[in-house]
Amino acid sequence: MSDPLLATLKVAGSGLEAQSTRLRIVSENIANARTTGDTPGADPYRRKTVTFGAELDRVSGAETVEVKKLGVDFADFIEEYDPGNPAADERGIVKMPNVNILVEMADMRESNRTYEANLQTIKQTRDMISQTIALLKASQ
């Protein structure tokens, strides 16, 4: 049987890694929210997505989280009338990315809070391990 405290560290560590990836993808989406195609009628930046999955860690027996897939959102692009834009077609329509800043900000906030929760779990577990070691030293 593995140590439950070490398993806790492994689970929280996998959560940190997964949320770090999610934050990177969200920041890419926000940074490219106004990135159009290079030529008239060309497709603009397409929103990226992250899919998580559970993975059994055979050593610790704990289920960890991992990034299963980085994908793209195939929702329709937003069309704007902007005849002066180099990416505008013959009608003056520019295809804009399918990125909704409000959705991305909500995703960022959720990811940030989840990251902080995993970090707090690691801190608490580390403190429990330190206290256990101190008790073992005191009993000798």
Residue 139 lies in a domain: no
**Cα Dmax for the chain:** 84
pLDDT (tens digit per residue) in 94-135: 999 999 999 999 999 999 999 999 999 999 999 999 999 999
SS3 114: helix
pLDDT (tens digit per residue) in 36-59: 999 998 999 999 999 999 999 888
The count of domains in the chain is 1
Residue 140 lies in a domain: no
Number of residues written out for the chain: 140
β-bridge pairing 62-72 and 78-81: unpaired
pTM value is 0.86
Tokens describing residue 67: 């990034």
CB atoms within 10 A of CB 85: 16
Domain of 15 in residue numbering reads as: 2-134
Residue 50 lies in a domain: yes
